[in-house]
Chain A
C-alpha cells in the first residue's frame, strides 16, 4: 500500500465514528493554523469537501466560530438561519439541510474542526451533541498528527506521536504566558515556528521547556 493510500485510510478512520454514531450524511475534518489556513484532512464526500472549501474561500462561516470558541456550533436549519448568509446560501444550494460543527481540542488548545452535514434539517439531541463533542476530542491528537504528516512528512511523527509528548503541551502552557495569548494561539505559534525553521514540533517544544527558546524575546537565548 502506498503512503498516500495509508494516509487516506487514516483520515477515513478518523471520520468513520461520526458517520456511525451521529444522524448525519457526511463529514469533513480540518486542522487550522494561526492564520486560519487549513488542511482538510478528510472529507467523506464532495458536498462535505465543498462546504469546507467555501468557508475557507469566504473566510467566514460557522467553522471559524467553532474554532474561535472551541465549542460546538449547531445550524439545525440551513434555510432558516440568518447567520453567515453568504456561506449558508451556498450550503442551501448544495441541498444541505443541517450543519453541525465540533471543535478538535487538545486540552485548552483548539486545533481544528469537524464539520457534519445532513441533507434534511432538524435539531440534534443534547446527548448526541455530547457524543459528537466527545468523538471530536478523541480524534484531535491523531488529527493533528495526520495534518503534520500531510504537510511536511515530519520524521518525528514516525516515532512517538507528537501529541503524546508531554513537552508539546508543557511548551504550549509556557508559551501562552510568554506571549500572553490563548492556548490555541500558543500551539499555532509553535507549529508555525517549527514549520518556518524546518524542525519538528517536538524539537521546538523541547527548546521551550528547557528555556533555550523564549517567545517573549522571540529568539534563541543560547
Chain B
C-alpha cells in the first residue's frame, strides 16, 4: 500500500503536494480537457501508488467513452473499455459513488469479461471514482494496480478531491453559463480525443512511430510550444504542421533521440 511503501524516495505528503501542484499548474496555463484529465490521472496514480488507469466521460447517448489513459497500448485501453461496459466503471457511474475492488478474484463471477481482461494484463485490484458536478455524474476515473491494493478512506478522499478539481477545471475552461455549456465541454473533450487518435495515426504512418510514441510527441510539442493538444492534433491531421517538425522538436528535447527506421 502507498503509505507503507518505504522504498519510494518521495514521501506520501510530497506526492500529495506534487499532485495538487501539477493540477493547479495545469489549470493556470493554456490547457485543454484531455491534457488536464491526463494530468489528473497521472497525479492519482502517483499518489495512490497504482499502475495504470483511464478517465471516461459520458457521451450524448449515455455511453462512457475513454478520454485519457496512462498508456496508449491497446491492451490496457481494452481493459478499461471493458470496465465501462460491465465492471467497476459503469457501476461507479450508475451509483455515483466510488467502487473499490481490492482483489479482482472477488469479481470473477460478477464481471467475468472485466475479470478476464484485467487478469490477462496482470492487474489484481482496481478503484473507480465518479467525476461529479453537483448531483450529476459526468464520468469516471478508473485506476488499476498489479498488486492487491485496498485504497484507504483517506486516499479515496484525495482521489475524489483531485477529480472534483478537474471537473471545476473542465467548467472553467470556457465560461460556465448554462447546462448546455457543460455538455458542450464534455463533447468537445470527446472530440479532442478523436482528433488525437487521428493525429497519432498520421504520425505513426509518416514517421513510423508506435501509438504511444506518437501521443508523447504530440503532447511534448504542445507543451514546448505553449499550444493546446487539440490545436496540435488538428494541425497534424490537416497537414498544416509537418510531422518532421513535430519529431525534430521531440528529439531535440529528448535526451535519447529515436532513430527513425
Taking beta carbons and an 8 Å cutoff, which residues of A are in contact with B? 13-14, 17, 21, 105-109, 130-131, 134, 137-142, 160-161, 163-164, 166-178, 183, 209
Contact yes or no, A107 B204, CB < 8 A: no
B204 near A174 (CB under 8 angstroms)?
A: yes
Q: A164-B63, A166-B74, A169-B198 are in contact. List 16 more A-B contacts (CB 8 A).
A: A13-B61, A105-B191, A109-B198, A131-B180, A134-B188, A137-B188, A138-B183, A142-B61, A160-B85, A164-B65, A166-B197, A167-B74, A169-B201, A173-B198, A177-B202, A209-B204
Contact of B197 with A169 in the complex, beta carbons under 8 Å: yes
Asked if A134 meets B194 with Cβ closer than 8 Å, knowing A108-B237, A166-B77, A173-B201, the reply is: no
Q: Which residue of B lies closest to A140 (CB)?
A: B191
Contact A164/B66 with A108-B234, A173-B199 known, Cβ cut-off 8 Å = yes
Q: Give Cα A108 to B190, complex, Å.
A: 13
Known contacts: A106-B194, A134-B180. The answer to whether A173 contacts B234 by CB under 8 A is no
B238 at the interface (CB under 8 A from A): yes
Asked whether A141 lies within 8 Å of B197 as measured between CB atoms, the reply is no
- Residues from chain B with a CB closer than 8 A to the CB of A14 are 60-61
Q: List 21 A-B contacts (CB under 8 A).
A: A13-B61, A17-B60, A21-B180, A107-B237, A108-B198, A108-B237, A130-B184, A134-B183, A134-B187, A138-B183, A141-B60, A142-B61, A160-B81, A164-B66, A167-B74, A169-B197, A169-B198, A173-B199, A174-B201, A174-B202, A177-B202
Residue positions of B touching A, CB distance < 8 A: 59-61, 63, 65-66, 74, 77, 81, 85, 180, 183-184, 187-188, 190-191, 194-206, 211, 233-234, 237-238
How many angstroms between the C-alpha atoms of A129 and B74 in the bound complex? Answer: 37
CA distance A21 to B181 in the complex (A): 12
Given contacts A106-B191, A170-B211, A177-B206, contact A134 B184 (CB under 8 A): yes
The minimal Cβ–Cβ distance linking A175 to chain B, given in whole angstroms, is 8
Interface of B is mostly: helix
Nearest neighbor of B63 in chain A, beta-carbon distance: A161
Residue contact A107 to B195, C-beta cutoff 8 Å: yes
Identify which of A131, A175, A183 gathers the most chain B CB atoms within 10 Å of its CB. Answer: A183
CB distance from A161 to the nearest CB of B (A): 6
State A139–B233 Cα separation when bound (angstroms).
Answer: 21
Distance between Cα atoms of A166 and B74 in the complex (Å): 9
Report yes or no: B197 in contact with A170, Cβ–Cβ below 8 A: yes
A182 to B, closest residue via Cβ: B238
A172, B236: Cα distance in complex, Å: 13
Contact in complex: B191, A137 (CB < 8 Å): yes
In the assembled complex, the Cα of A106 lies from the Cα of B197 at a distance in Å of 11
Are B237's CB and A176's CB within 8 A? Answer: yes
Q: List residues of chain B with CB within 8 A of the CB of A168.
A: 197
Could you tell me the distance between the alpha carbons of A177 and B238 in the complex, rounded to whole angstroms? 11
Q: Which residues on the B side are within 8 Å of A160 (C-beta)?
A: 81, 85
| Nearest chain A CB to B37 CB, angstrom units | 15
Query: Are B237 and A171 in contact, CB atoms less than 8 angstroms apart?
Result: no
Q: In the complex, A108→B200 CA distance in Å?
A: 13
Which residues in A have their C-beta under 8 angstroms from that of B184?
130-131, 134, 138
Sorted nearest first, the 5 A-B pairs with minimum C-beta distance are A173-B201, A169-B197, A107-B194, A107-B195, A138-B187
Contact A142 B237 (CB under 8 A): no
**CB–CB A170/B194 < 8 A:** no
Q: Which residues of A contact B187 (CB under 8 A)?
A: 134, 137-138
B211 contacts across to A, CB distance below 8 A: 170, 209
What's the least CB distance linking B202 to chain A, in Å?
Answer: 4
- With contacts A108-B195, A137-B188, A142-B60 known, is A176 near B202, CB below 8 A? yes
CA distance A175 to B238 in the complex (A): 13
Point out the residues of chain B lying under 8 angstroms from A137, CB to CB.
Answer: 187-188, 191
| CB closest residue in chain B, given A170 | B201
Tell whether, in the assembled complex, residue A170 and residue B188 are in contact, meaning their CB atoms are under 8 Å apart: no
B177, closest chain A residue (CB):
A127
CA distance A5 to B196 in the complex (A): 36
B204 touches which of A21, A134, A170 (Cβ 8 Å): A170
A142's contact among B59, B81, B196, B203, by CB below 8 Å, is which?
A: B59
Contact call A138/B60, Cβ cutoff below 8 A: yes
